[in-house]
Amino acid sequence: MLPDDLATQLRLWRRDFHQYPELGYLEMRTASTVASILHGLGFELQLGKEVMSEENCMGKPSEEETKEHLEWALANGAKERFIKPLSEGYTGIVAKMDFNQGGPTIAYRFDMDALPIQESKELDHFPNEEGFQSKVPNHMHACGHDSHMAIGLGLASWIAQNKRHLQGTIKLIFQPAEEGTRGAKSMVEAGVVNDVDYFIASHIGTGVPHNHFVAGNNGFLATSKLNISFHGVASHAGSHPEAGRNALLAAATATLNMHAIARHADGASRINVGELHAGSGRNVIANHARLIVETRGNTSKINKYMKNQVTAIVAGAAEMYQLQYKIETVGEALNCHCSRDLATILNTCAVNHPAIINSQLESNDSAGSEDATYFMERVQKNGGLATYCIFGTDLAAGHHHERFDINEASMLTAVEILSQSINDIILMHSS
Amino acid sequence: MLPDDLATQLRLWRRDFHQYPELGYLEMRTASTVASILHGLGFELQLGKEVMSEENCMGKPSEEETKEHLEWALANGAKERFIKPLSEGYTGIVAKMDFNQGGPTIAYRFDMDALPIQESKELDHFPNEEGFQSKVPNHMHACGHDSHMAIGLGLASWIAQNKRHLQGTIKLIFQPAEEGTRGAKSMVEAGVVNDVDYFIASHIGTGVPHNHFVAGNNGFLATSKLNISFHGVASHAGSHPEAGRNALLAAATATLNMHAIARHADGASRINVGELHAGSGRNVIANHARLIVETRGNTSKINKYMKNQVTAIVAGAAEMYQLQYKIETVGEALNCHCSRDLATILNTCAVNHPAIINSQLESNDSAGSEDATYFMERVQKNGGLATYCIFGTDLAAGHHHERFDINEASMLTAVEILSQSINDIILMHSS
Amino acid sequence: MLPDDLATQLRLWRRDFHQYPELGYLEMRTASTVASILHGLGFELQLGKEVMSEENCMGKPSEEETKEHLEWALANGAKERFIKPLSEGYTGIVAKMDFNQGGPTIAYRFDMDALPIQESKELDHFPNEEGFQSKVPNHMHACGHDSHMAIGLGLASWIAQNKRHLQGTIKLIFQPAEEGTRGAKSMVEAGVVNDVDYFIASHIGTGVPHNHFVAGNNGFLATSKLNISFHGVASHAGSHPEAGRNALLAAATATLNMHAIARHADGASRINVGELHAGSGRNVIANHARLIVETRGNTSKINKYMKNQVTAIVAGAAEMYQLQYKIETVGEALNCHCSRDLATILNTCAVNHPAIINSQLESNDSAGSEDATYFMERVQKNGGLATYCIFGTDLAAGHHHERFDINEASMLTAVEILSQSINDIILMHSS
Amino acid sequence: MLPDDLATQLRLWRRDFHQYPELGYLEMRTASTVASILHGLGFELQLGKEVMSEENCMGKPSEEETKEHLEWALANGAKERFIKPLSEGYTGIVAKMDFNQGGPTIAYRFDMDALPIQESKELDHFPNEEGFQSKVPNHMHACGHDSHMAIGLGLASWIAQNKRHLQGTIKLIFQPAEEGTRGAKSMVEAGVVNDVDYFIASHIGTGVPHNHFVAGNNGFLATSKLNISFHGVASHAGSHPEAGRNALLAAATATLNMHAIARHADGASRINVGELHAGSGRNVIANHARLIVETRGNTSKINKYMKNQVTAIVAGAAEMYQLQYKIETVGEALNCHCSRDLATILNTCAVNHPAIINSQLESNDSAGSEDATYFMERVQKNGGLATYCIFGTDLAAGHHHERFDINEASMLTAVEILSQSINDIILMHSS
């Protein structure tokens, strides 16, 4: 039902993105390329601050870093026509296409950012063999978002080709900064899914094999990503120890007490002080400390409990040592409950796909955290249906690994299942 | 110059007190006995709340405990005539005698309380040999305050005998609750030394041998005695751990951070969480914790620094776990600088005493903490002179030891030096 | 099928036990009474060390306490004929009755100990109304073990009456010290269920209402009850702080780090330092500290992980401060998986009982911890079947509450279900 | 008595060194320059491993860093003739001159290393005004060691000029890596002062004003500089927290307990965890942690106590979390007691010097820590005399400040006092 050469096209798109990995909120070459293609297919585009709430952008890089990257993007193939609205680091895209009235509004979300990982230089790493490895040192599409965008563009192609047969409205959402669960909330708060009846997010891999499918993944943990800092007063540790206000001791105390937060009876919780950096010299009472922290919970309520405890502990540690402190939320995600009716449609699409060996309606396997959950919560709150599905693929190495790679053949199946879901949703909606 | 039998009398007094040890603020039998003797010698007495500021009584026992002890005192020889003003635990005494006008006001301070220590039952312990051991289980005059009172009463006898030759006014201060540095501040705040020109406190022993003397001891550490409590919320540790507010964890955190208070460049400091008691069951999140703490410092400023840090740490630990907390100051003392002019007089008295082998004008040996320092500070602030002297004696075992005992012969020398100091102070004052 | 007056008899037994509550390993009046009745019914008895492994008695009271209690028991109605083997605190009973060969060996376990709780003195508390309240201050059957024993004796009566119709062997196990999960392991290690084919433990209440039943309760958490102590060196905190080895600081450090033990991905875990007691005086570096601790886990493996971490943390804290330490396991229990085949039999018995409104085959509701799990594990390891069932009853207040009380009518139903289970097990076994 | 132009020469030397600051063990350009001048003056030289014990070089940079610096030094004026023995970072020099037999062996020690500080770029900073500011970014002679070397070379010039009048042997010791108290021990262990009768170390400034002098400074604190690391096991904080071995938590625990080390009754102590760096990502259980620590003590015994406690605490923290750990001593110094007889000679030299306004025989002012104390201890152990003197100067800003600068005129006076001391020591020695 799709052009013979779509598989080839998907591979070309994916490999292009793979060579130019960009970190969250810096997907300028990436997003302008995506926008250019979608524009060519006839979609109506909204970019940048139109689809992102500035005050809800968590964990955004500094203005300086953003400016610097803009220059890099322009020098590396960014499409100038679309770069303006993306240039301050608001790199989200909503591509809309309206059909006959009376139909549903369906949204699909794809994420675009890469990771600060150095891609393997081993010769037998497939991207090296095929010559499409990352051109950027210490940056890599090691989670598959390159393929997500290819799938999204493949879906867009199908939509463009079949627009005469469709009803309602379709929105394709290309989200920045999924890594660290940072970018989704900003798009949700800008209202981009307020009118959506059906929402589908998806991921490739995550342990599900090639030609397997999960229609509704409920295993995400709610999470908060927190950057915490303490600021005190330095003093010579030998001659005036009493004059210092010791940020390092406060950080050590806060760390221990954060890890000692009581377990929650309602379900799993997590806390990790992943990094602690404090002090500026052996003989100086440390006047600054920085902690890189995350909390998680089976439910958003449990995660909220964890975050509240962290807040109290940090405030208390600061009071102990009479310090200033700052708690910055640089990422956040919710847990989710996929809408069974929508998952059932996806499941049927997969079951009926000739290549699919196995399709699972629902899964509770823990698959980390995802900020697509913000979209899902908003849609469900408004009475819509939402689900999160997984396209199986065979991985060369786990997500976030320097040798991560997918089976590119999985992309075509993904596009076909998503395409079919449009038909089935419109059908269900009208019935 | 004193009656031949004074040595005998001193021994009798001391041994009587030794048999009836009473803890701080409960010296009812003791103080009523002292009052009775001083009254007999012609002193004008002020007792109880007249000489003690209620709101400055630190570390006073509960009303219940006080009432209970009153009954014991009445059953064990308390003088009923003087018991009324002492009955609520305000057991201080100021005994005054006025002479010819124009002379100085001189005050001598003696302390009266015993310790919660079980006296040794070994047969060769001198009080056992002589049959004057403590009659009260777990209570003992193990610091020599029994002898201090005997010396005070000996001095009173000398004053009464010599009153025609004296000028000015003499005040004998019998202070409760020196142990834990609790009782002095209350008497100072009641104003009992506001009119004093010369103030002399003294102690027996403290490592100085029999027939040795120290005229001005400056080695006292300022100190604060703090009772700290945290109050949280209990919860079943298995079924609802998240519902608790854990006072035990706050106490543990506060303890570690208190001991980690930075050293002070200006001199020695000390911190000790001597006791920690928390929780009420293995499977219950602890909702209460109690810490028994002391700080010390070479100077009052350093001790204040320590106390301030403790306060901040406790407040911070409470905030961490969202608890109520209380910091009660149950004892406090200052450091001191003996007035050299007054110490010189005492030193001369000692040097001229035939029994004294060695007299030291000033000493900085650390001798713990002493709340007589409150009296000294007040007198010096008002322009008067103050000193703290030590009467050497040979100890059977260290202070606060179950076999503590003194050489009773040291008491007579002490009385003679103090008597002579009255003469010399009056002489100096008039010159 | 049972004598008309069994309901009355159950009430009498239960109320007798209720008036004489005895703590774990001290059930001397209780166990001798139980033994006397079982003997009267014709059971063959094994008592004391015959059925308890001395070295596996966790959390046993001191010899002194045990001796003292023996006197109390003898003065309060203990049966002298059976007291000898119980007199050292080995208070377990196994009562056996053999029938025709060829049948199965079936065991039922009942627990006997009471709690250190003061029973409510409120007049409308049912035991007060009926005059069978606890005669022992601060001791109370507040968990229902009095009714467990009554049920056990009721079952024994039925067995005695029906012995001609039965096959195989029946063992009634009366276990001491279930509270704190202390006593079961000792009986298991003595081998009392080594020959058992079917094992049934049971509890009344735990949130299940009157005339409801649970045939297989799987919700128990594995647990370890640990008493931990540190021993250091005392020193004067003012004059020789460096000479101390501070047990209180080690305890505080261990406490924080125990609570900070990482969560386990496989399921729920728990840690609680419920009590901490350390130190002997404000100005003394604390030389001893005692912690009352428990760990729990969804599975025995998780609980083992927690216990291992505790062990490492305590050893490390001791090394930090160069202390001696001791970790005593004073209670322990496993998690369990009820044998579905046996639970099905129980469930059928309940479903067929005219009074039962609702019966549940399996439940995963967390119901704390239970050392009957040791019996279950041993029986299942040997190829037998085991289950833990719950007899619903209406509670006046929760377990371990001072106003705890049951609906006594629930006892008769319990006996009837258990009686029927014997018939059904024999039937199944022979088929 | 010295050539008219010595003041000028001193300035030239100092300014040359000032422009090429080199860190400890990397003083290759510096030491080769010093060696070249001393050689020209007729001294017999020993360089590198001849005068430094390899295994006692504390805190030496890596081989790679050393090699890299060698290239820099060669490109920036290092004297190739002398570079070979210095090229591996053993940059110490002993320059010896022998005179008539029978005289004493006198040693003077000068230190050579600079600091990792960016020199001020403010125009009114004197080295900027005069154009001799540091040519190396982030490196600066901010402690005055440039002037120490100039003084040493000035002294060498005087010795060369006066050699016919001298007796015995003179050794000029140029020590690397005094900052961080790293380099001295290595020279002492190589035996360079084993034959020394009189040893004099010196410093410029330290708060003593121009034309003031201190002949014996006793205020140094013994110290240990410790680099501590923990190595554990990383794990994903969300999916397998229990599989990690958390180095960050161990570091936090160790930090708190190190700061809580009990004060020492014998004198001041210090502890500082100046830096803590741990972990590699927000969602990873940290598997490494690094602490930058120092201890100090009024006496070497107290410092040893502190170091022992640190060692026990780190070992305990590692045991808690089952980690590997390493404690590296990267610097160490003793306290000192200047020999009064030698200080008296220096004091006399100063008193007799026309420019000196004030000379102090002994001072106890705390002046940080100094590893010259190792030389002093060795000489005194062998029966020799040792002192540490201070040449006053007016500082533009404190030591280690980016605007640090001295009054260059102080250097000439220093050379003259040291020169005179040679005469006086020889005189005293022969008498």
In the stretch 363-382 of chain D, residues with CB closer than 8 A to chain A read: 366, 368-369
Q: How far apart are CA D410 and CA D394, in angstroms?
A: 8
Whether the predicted pLDDT of D2 surpasses 60: no
Could you tell me the pLDDT band of residue D1, with boundaries at 50, 70 and 90?
A: very low
Nearest to C350 by CA among C208, C219, C217, C212: C212
Could you tell me the pLDDT band of residue C1, with boundaries at 50, 70 and 90?
A: very low
pLDDT digits (tens, 9 = 90+) for C92-102: 999 999 998 88
Distance of residue B272 Cα from the nearest chain D Cα, in angstroms: 9
Which stretches within B95-138 are classed as H helix? 126-130
The CA R_g of chain B, rounded to the nearest whole Å, is 23
Quote the mean pLDDT of chain D: 96
- The answer to whether residues D90 and D82 touch, using CB atoms and an 8 Å cutoff, is no
Question: Which chains pack against B, by 3+ Cβ pairs within 8 A?
Answer: A, C, D
Quick check: A266 contacting D, CB < 8 Å?
no
Burial A305-336, CB ≥16 within 10 A → b, else e: bbbebbebbbbbbbbbbbbebebeebbbbbbb
At B1 the pLDDT is 44
Domain B222-332 in this protein, CATH class: alpha beta
Q: In this structure, is the dihedral angle defined by the CA atoms of residues C272, C275, C279 and C282, taken in order, positive or negative?
A: positive
The contacts of residue D272 (CB under 8 Å, 6+ apart) are A237, A238, A241, A282, A283, A284, A285, D293, D294
At C283 the pLDDT is 92
At C318 the pLDDT is 98
The contacts of residue A333 (CB under 8 Å, 6+ apart) are A181, A184, A220, A221, A222, A223, A369, A370, A371, A373, A374
DSSP-derived pairing of the beta strands C222-231 and D93-98: unpaired
Nearest to D16 by CA among D67, D58, D77: D77
Nearest to A260 among C256, C265, C268 (CB): C256
At A1 the pLDDT is 44
Quick check: C263 contacting A, CB < 8 Å?
yes
pLDDT digits (tens, 9 = 90+) for A48-66: 999 999 999 999 999 999 9
Whether the predicted pLDDT of A231 surpasses 70: yes
Chain B hits for C366, Cβ within 8 Å: 238-239
DSSP-derived pairing of the beta strands B385-391 and B198-204: parallel
| Tokens (6 digits) for D354 | 């026309």
pLDDT digits (tens, 9 = 90+) for C5-45: 899 999 999 999 999 999 999 999 999 999 999 999 999 99
C300 φ/ψ angles, rounded to the nearest 5 degrees: -60, -35
Chain B hits for A318, Cβ within 8 Å: 316
Nearest to C237 among B180, B248, B294 (CB): B294
Interface touch A279/D276, C-beta < 8 Å = yes
pLDDT digits (tens, 9 = 90+) for C188-211: 999 999 999 999 999 999 999 999
pLDDT digits (tens, 9 = 90+) for D198-239: 999 999 999 999 999 999 999 899 999 999 999 999 998 998
Q: Which residue of A has its CA nearest to D226?
A: A282
Euclidean distance between the first and the last CA atom of chain D, given in angstroms as a whole number = 24
- In chain D, the largest separation of any two C-alpha atoms, in whole Å, equals 81
Q: What is the CATH number of domain A3-220+336-430?
A: 3.40.630.10
Per-residue pLDDT, averaged over A16-28, amounts to 98
Of chain A, the percentage scoring pLDDT greater than 70 comes to 99
Distance of residue D396 Cα from the nearest chain A Cα, in angstroms: 19
Per-residue pLDDT, averaged over B263-291, amounts to 96
Could you tell me the pLDDT band of residue D121, with boundaries at 50, 70 and 90?
A: very high
Q: Where are the beta strands (DSSP E) in A279-413?
A: 288-297, 324-333, 358-360, 385-391
Per-residue pLDDT, averaged over B5-27, amounts to 97
Of chain D, the percentage scoring pLDDT greater than 70 comes to 99
Per-residue pLDDT, averaged over C115-132, amounts to 95
Quick check: B326 contacting C, CB < 8 Å?
no
pLDDT digits (tens, 9 = 90+) for B64-102: 999 999 999 999 999 999 999 999 999 999 999 999 888
Domain boundaries, chain C: 3-220+336-430, 222-332
Quote the mean pLDDT of chain A: 96
Whether the predicted pLDDT of B231 surpasses 60: yes
Chain B hits for D256, Cβ within 8 Å: 256-257, 260
Q: How far apart are CA A113 and CA A139, in angstroms?
A: 10
Chain C hits for D239, Cβ within 8 Å: 265
Nearest to A263 among C256, C257, C263 (CB): C263
At C367 the pLDDT is 64
Of chain B, the percentage scoring pLDDT greater than 90 comes to 94
Q: How far apart are CA A33 and CA A82, in angstroms?
A: 8
pLDDT digits (tens, 9 = 90+) for A260-269: 999 999 999 9
- The answer to whether residues C428 and C345 touch, using CB atoms and an 8 Å cutoff, is yes
- Residues counted in chain A: 431
Nearest to C272 by CA among C225, C334, C328, C219: C225
pLDDT digits (tens, 9 = 90+) for C327-350: 999 999 999 999 999 999 999 999
Q: CA torsion angle for B405, B411, B412, B416 (degrees, to 10)? A: 160
pLDDT digits (tens, 9 = 90+) for A73-114: 999 999 999 999 999 999 999 999 999 888 999 999 999 999
CB count, 10 Å around CB of C71? 11
Euclidean distance between the first and the last CA atom of chain B, given in angstroms as a whole number = 24
Quick check: A242 contacting B, CB < 8 Å?
yes
Nearest to C259 by CA among A310, B257, B249, B232: B249
pTM of the model: 0.93
Nearest to A305 by CA among A340, A336, A263: A263
Q: In what order do the strands lie in the sheet with B44-47?
A: B44-47, B93-98, B167-175, B100-111, B198-204, B385-391, B212-217, B358-363
- The answer to whether residues D150 and D41 touch, using CB atoms and an 8 Å cutoff, is no
Could you tell me the pLDDT band of residue C2, with boundaries at 50, 70 and 90?
A: low
Distance of residue B377 Cα from the nearest chain A Cα, in angstroms: 26
pLDDT digits (tens, 9 = 90+) for B129-169: 999 999 999 999 999 999 999 999 999 999 999 999 999 99
The DSSP letter of residue B72 is: H
Q: How far apart are CA C362 and CA C390, in angstroms?
A: 10
The angle subtended at Cα B303 by Cα B299 and Cα B306, nearest 5°, is 145
In whole angstroms, how far apart are CA B303 and each of A319, C8, C249, D263?
Answer: 20, 72, 21, 14
At A276 the pLDDT is 98
Distance of residue B310 Cα from the nearest chain D Cα, in angstroms: 13
| Tokens (6 digits) for A62 | 């500094």
The contacts of residue D3 (CB under 8 Å, 6+ apart) are D9, D157, D161
At D396 the pLDDT is 94
Chain C hits for B180, Cβ within 8 Å: 282
Quick check: A270 contacting C, CB < 8 Å?
yes
Per-residue pLDDT, averaged over B23-32, amounts to 98
Q: State the SS3 of B373-417.
A: HHHHHHHHHCCCEEEEEEECCCCCCCCCCCCCCCCCCHHHHHHHH
Question: Which chains pack against C, by 3+ Cβ pairs within 8 A?
Answer: A, B, D
At D222 the pLDDT is 97
Per-residue pLDDT, averaged over D380-391, amounts to 97
- The answer to whether residues A125 and A403 touch, using CB atoms and an 8 Å cutoff, is yes
pLDDT digits (tens, 9 = 90+) for A286-343: 999 999 999 999 999 999 999 999 999 999 999 999 999 999 999 999 999 999 999 9
At B364 the pLDDT is 86
At A3 the pLDDT is 58
* ipTM here: 0.90
Interface touch C294/B180, C-beta < 8 Å = no
